[in-house]
Structure 1
């Protein structure tokens, strides 16, 4: 089954039984995953930063609009005007969890369940129906994070995104390896030379944006 990186990321951060998201910033992370996939497909590029104080802008590559509905819509947002990765990951992530989950429901991977919290507030859950693809993704991640194998670009990008939300160590069986070593390996992969420079630039910009937004949310929560 062919999936988007964002779909794989959503499967990894959904509790298979409860069907609820286990990360605090799914919108930002999923938006980052879409931006990274656009870069992997050669549909967008990240400009060179000329200063540590200046955020890199993301631009569309002409005549490279993806056929996929979600990626195509994201490409259109990028094409509206030059924006920073920090701006884009949040914009691209709006409503994305629901759209991705519904696609996975159509494929028989998830089940959509409607309910209410305390009998008042509507809530949608997406428990797993078929975990075969997710298990395959986890095996690839285990190879990179635990067994020390060199990841392909897609797996490396997924590791970088998971590391940005501090989930990389939670989606694999450590097989006796200490958590700090799995985290360290995830960081090394995030910064590694397994991808072309244009892709590395996009991943770096996206994960930095995710981390910045998550840090800002944590500070706001702590001061409230």
Structure 2
């Protein structure tokens, strides 16, 4: 990915994985459910770009590709290619593309300069990887999340999407040092999970699609078996 052209605006899936990175331990929170979270974030990115639409299909929400040409970003290409063949339920897309996202998204964050990765060996024999923060962007994202969950500000749709995914992953209590955990934070996070994104969610077809995708990702992440 060294020659990859990066968009100025990071993707929602990049923001979400960067938020999940825990600087003190160098680990990613919610690994057991990460593919749901990243898959949902990719669908939200495609919705934000106006390249997918959501429609009710019985008890499920089906997503279909719209527009012509390639996906707006290489990280979104597998999901876009799959949806270009036929509309699919959100859960099917998550299962199809989610498990293969962790590595490429992590590579993107390293390439963008938000994370630093050092390869080494334990006891001189076993390969090991150490990941550390390399920019201030995670702190800025945390500030946006705090503003929505603690200060009561209405988040931008992309921030609302990331918060809903973090909440669905069950990892928000792990952010206590940065976002003090309590009943008010829990309640607001649950509201965002259920689609309470303020006026933006009702005024724009793009945001309504994002909202529908995230709500169905939340259902999948909280109801279906976790790996």
Which deviates further from its counterpart, 187-196 or 139-148? 187-196
Change (3 A) 1:75 1:184: same
Q: Does 1:217 align with 2:220?
A: no
Q: Residue 186 of structure 2 corresponds to which residue in structure 1?
A: 183
Q: Residue 126 of structure 1 corresponds to which residue in structure 2?
A: 131
Query: How many residue pairs end up in the alignment?
Result: 210
Greater share of strand: 2
3-state SS of paired residue (1:62): coil
Contiguous gaps of at least 5 residues in structure 1: 219-224
Q: Residue 207 of structure 1 corresponds to which residue in structure 2?
A: 218
Which deviates further from its counterpart, 30-39 or 76-85? 76-85
Q: Residue 17 of structure 2 corresponds to which residue in structure 1?
A: 10
User: Which residue, out of 43, 50, 57, partners 2:51?
Assistant: 43
Which deviates further from its counterpart, 58-67 or 41-50? 58-67
| Superposition misfits of 4+ residues, deviation over 4 angstroms | 115-123
Change (3 A) 1:62 1:145: same
Superimposed CA distance per residue, residues 78-108 of structure 1 (whole angstroms, 9 cap, x where no aligned partner) = 2232322112113222331111111121222
Q: Residue 171 of structure 2 corresponds to which residue in structure 1?
A: 167
Residue 37 of structure 2 contacts residue 165 of structure 2 at CA under 8 Å; is this kept in 1?
Answer: yes
User: Which residue, out of 132, 149, 152, partners 2:153?
Assistant: 149
Q: Residue 162 of structure 2 corresponds to which residue in structure 1?
A: 158
In structure 2, what is the Cα distance between the partners aligned to 1:125 and 1:28? 24
3-state SS of paired residue (2:63): strand
Change (3 A) 1:74 1:181: same
Q: Does 1:111 align with 2:116?
A: yes
Q: CA RMSD in A?
A: 2.4
TM-score of the pair, normalised by structure 1: 0.82
The 5-angstrom pairing of residues 130-141 of structure 1 reads 130=135, 132-141=136-145
| CA apart distance, 1:165 | 0.5
Contiguous gaps of at least 5 residues in structure 2: 1-7, 202-206
In structure 1, what is the Cα distance between the partners aligned to 2:18 and 2:83? 25
